Each structure stands twice: as C-alpha cells, then as structure tokens.
C-alpha cells in the first residue's frame, strides 16, 4: 500500500476519534443537565452531539426524551417517529415505541398509545414497564368508552325528555285552544263552531254563531244547562246526533223545548258562587239598613225643629 493511502487512513481515523470525543463530551454534558432537571439545556447539548455525529442513536434518542420532559409531546412524537426509519435493532425499536406510547398517552390519543405499546412488546415481549403501561392505557380506553356511552345515553334521555315536554306543551296549547269559550257556556268554541270552521254553526239563524250565543237554538234554555255535566262533550238526550243545545226538541217528545218546562232542572251553583252571592246580599242589606237609619235621623231632626 502506498504511503499516501496510509496517511489518508490515519487522518480519517484520527478525525473520527476526535469527532467521537466531542460527541461523547456533549452527550455527557447534556446528561448532566438532564439529571439536574434542566431539560432545555440538556436538549441543546444533545443537539450539539448530533451535529458532531449525525447518525448517533444515543444523541437523537436523548433529544426526544428531553422534548418529552419539557412537555413538548408533539415535537417528541415527531422525533421518535423519525428515528423509526433508521433503527433496525429490536431493543432500540422497543425503547422508541415505548416512549411513543407515553407521548400519545399524554395527549389522550389512547388508540395510538395502545398500538405503540403493542409494537414495543413485539420487539421486547418481556418488558414489564411496557406491559403495565399497555394495561393502563387499555383501562383508560375502556373508561373513555363507558363515559361516551353514558353521555350518549344522557343525551338521548335529555332529547326524549325535551320531546316529551314539547309534546306536553303542544297538548296544553291544543287543549287551551279547545277550551276557548267566548260565550261562557262551558262548551268549547271549537265544538260549537261545528265541522266547517270557516262557516261556524248558527242554529237559530239569528246572525250570531253558536260559539257566541248563550242560547244557540233559541229555546229559552241556556246552552250551559243543555250541555249537561260534561260541556266538552255536550249531551244528546234523544241520541239523534244533534246535541241538546242545538236541538229544539232535545227529548223528542213532540213538544218544543221552549214550551216544555217540566224537564228543565235548575242549574246547580258552585259553593264559591253561593258564597259570593251571599256576600253581595249582605252588602246590599247593609246598604239598605244604612239608608233607612239615615232617613230616620233626618225625620227626627225635622220634627225636633218644628217642636221648638
């Protein structure tokens, strides 16, 4: 071998040795800061080491670990993933996948975390730490699924309750609409209007529709009386399909209701109405009594004046 070739080889070995020394120096310095908890400074020295030896697994791996310790999980994930392309060693792959699993776990990417831990175990099946982390991630995944299921059930229940409430409100609105009673006879206006709402019934043809007429058939009997005990379903005594308040011969006895007073029963008043009427009578009676007393006082005064 020529002397020049030997000189070149010696120079290359010397240069590599020098670069290796600088790489080791920077890694050691970075590890010193890492152990002190100064992960930012540790990262800086590990990057210097990687510049001295671009293919250094140790320097690159330590950079990713420093990023993880700083809470830079996305950057750490990118760095670990970039190392997978250049790593063929099973132990190294196991370490990378294990730490990738930790990164995904920190950002709640449980599916990715579980898969990373499984890949780590494929390269190092007996790793207890990875097994523990995998079990932990799977348990979190199960809890997450249960919570999501509970949330879905709660949302469905809430939607059902809202729908039920809407239905109840709609029913109330419909009922309130049915209970409109313009003439105050207890019979809902919707019933008195008949089938053709655009042309409400006017039984006695007096120009006033039944829903605004307290005696729709003009038989002298108030609709309130003829409606019966359930005004929402007016009674039909003779079962001819025509309610009594629209039937001038409601009992079909051949005698018009306007002349048939025997069958008319007094309308019962409520307890509240009775008390109100009694109160009005008492007040009227007191007013009358007060008026009489004033008249007496006036008469006595006049008589006294005349006697004097």
For residue range 174-220, list pLDDT tens digits in order: 665 556 776 676 777 677 667 766 777 777 778 778 667 777 567 66
Confidence of residue 300 (pLDDT cuts 50, 70, 90): very low
Evaluate whether 273 touches 262 at the Cβ level (below 8 Å). no
The first and second tokens of residue 270, run together, are: 């409520």
Residues 221, 138: Cα–Cα separation, whole Å: 81
pLDDT of residue 133: 92
**Is pLDDT of 291 > 70?**
yes
Residues 79, 62: Cα–Cα separation, whole Å: 10
- Which residue is it, tokens 């070149």? 8
Task: Provide the 3-class DSSP secondary structure of residue 264.
Answer: coil
**Is pLDDT of 262 > 60?**
no
pLDDT digits (tens, 9 = 90+) for 7-60: 334 434 444 444 457 788 999 998 999 999 999 999 999 999 989 998 889 999
Q: Is the pTM of this model over 0.75?
A: no
* DSSP state at residue 89: -
Confidence of residue 119 (pLDDT cuts 50, 70, 90): very high
**Is pLDDT of 266 > 90?**
no
Residues 258, 221: Cα–Cα separation, whole Å: 7
Residues 6+ apart with CB under 8 A from 67: 43, 73, 75, 76, 79
pLDDT of residue 200: 78
């Amino acid at each position: 071998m020529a002397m020049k070739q030997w000189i070149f080889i010696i120079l290359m070995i010397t240069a590599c040795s020098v670069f290796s020394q600088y790489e080791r120096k920077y890694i050691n310095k970075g590890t010193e800061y890492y152990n002190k908890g100064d992960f930012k400074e540790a990262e800086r020295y590990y990057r210097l080491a990687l510049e001295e030896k671009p293919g250094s697994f140790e320097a690159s791996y330590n950079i990713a670990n420093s990023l993880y310790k700083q809470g830079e999980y996305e950057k750490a994930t990118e760095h670990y993933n970039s190392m997978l392309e250049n790593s063929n060693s099973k132990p190294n792959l196991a370490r990378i996948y294990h730490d990738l699993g930790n990164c995904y776990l920190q950002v709640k990417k449980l599916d990715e975390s579980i898969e990373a831990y499984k890949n780590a175990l494929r390269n190092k099946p007996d790793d207890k730490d990875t097994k523990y982390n995998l079990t932990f991630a799977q348990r979190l995944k199960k809890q997450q699924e249960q919570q999501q299921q509970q949330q879905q059930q709660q949302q469905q229940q809430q939607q059902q309750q809202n729908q039920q409430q809407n239905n109840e409100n709609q029913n109330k609105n419909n009922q309130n609409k049915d209970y409109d009673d313009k003439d105050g006879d207890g019979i809902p206006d919707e019933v008195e209007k008949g089938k053709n709402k655009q042309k409400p019934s006017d039984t006695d043809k007096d120009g006033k529709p039944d829903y605004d007429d307290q005696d729709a058939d003009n038989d002298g009997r108030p609709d309130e009386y003829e409606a019966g005990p359930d005004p929402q379903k007016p009674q039909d005594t003779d079962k001819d399909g025509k309610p009594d308040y629209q039937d001038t011969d409601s009992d079909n006895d051949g005698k018009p209701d306007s002349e048939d007073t025997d069958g008319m029963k007094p309308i019962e008043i409520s307890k509240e109405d009775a008390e109100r009427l009694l109160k009005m009578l008492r007040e009227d009676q007191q007013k009358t009594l007060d008026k009489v007393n004033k008249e007496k006082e006036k008469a006595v005064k006049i008589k006294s004046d005349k006697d004097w």
